[in-house]
Amino acid sequence: MHKVTGRLSKILSIILGTALSAVFFMAAWAKVSGNPGTKEVFTTLEMEPHGRIIIGIIEAAAAFLLVTHKYSATGALLGFAVMIGAFIAHGTKLGFVLSEADGGFLSLQMLIAASLCLGVMWLERHDLPIVGKLFDLEDERTSL
């Protein structure tokens, strides 16, 4: 990869990763600490309390991995998986607009987080688990 673009994408991925990490950390904290809103959501899903805690721990792990140097792609993948689950939950049980006050803001937040996760996964694709090495080979192939 060209050096300048390489550096730019690294900076971009650090910025995105840190922002995502903050979002996931807050979400994890709300779930693990038992925020009434999240308790309500997980009661609807009939996953209270274990599901709430499990998802909280996964989000915390994603938040932590996103700010590491080598495993940010893994963190983004984990976050992306949680977001898919969240979409299923909102699409089937919760609805995309939780209340009038929310006005669909949470769903929008989800969508943004999922896209940013995809963004970090793409920027750090060489570090993705299992498939990362394929991108190295791909670079070599296209450099011919």
- Summarize as ranges the residues that interact with another protein (CB under 8 A): 45-47, 51, 77, 81, 84-85, 88-89, 92-93, 130-131, 134, 137-138, 141
Shortest spacing between CB 127 and another protein, in angstroms: 16
- What is the residue whose two structure tokens read 């769903």? 107
User: Would you say 83 or 106 has its CB closer to another protein?
Assistant: 83
Shortest spacing between CB 87 and another protein, in angstroms: 10
User: Would you say 19 or 128 has its CB closer to another protein?
Assistant: 128
Task: Please tell me the distance from the alpha carbon of residue 121 to that of residue 40, in angstroms, as a whole number.
Answer: 32
Sign of the torsion angle spanned by Cα atoms 7, 8, 11, 17: negative
- What is the residue whose two structure tokens read 């950390």? 25
| Element of type H or E holding 110 | helix 105-123
User: Would you say 37 or 85 has its CB closer to another protein?
Assistant: 85
What tokens appear for 27 in the block? 């979400």
User: Would you say 84 or 108 has its CB closer to another protein?
Assistant: 84
User: Would you say 15 or 136 has its CB closer to another protein?
Assistant: 136
Shortest spacing between CB 15 and another protein, in angstroms: 25
- What is the residue whose two structure tokens read 């693990």? 32
Task: Please tell me the distance from the alpha carbon of residue 57 to that of residue 49, in angstroms, as a whole number.
Answer: 12
Contacts of 16 (CB under 8 A, 6+ apart): 116, 119, 120, 123
Shortest spacing between CB 50 and another protein, in angstroms: 9
Shortest spacing between CB 82 and another protein, in angstroms: 8
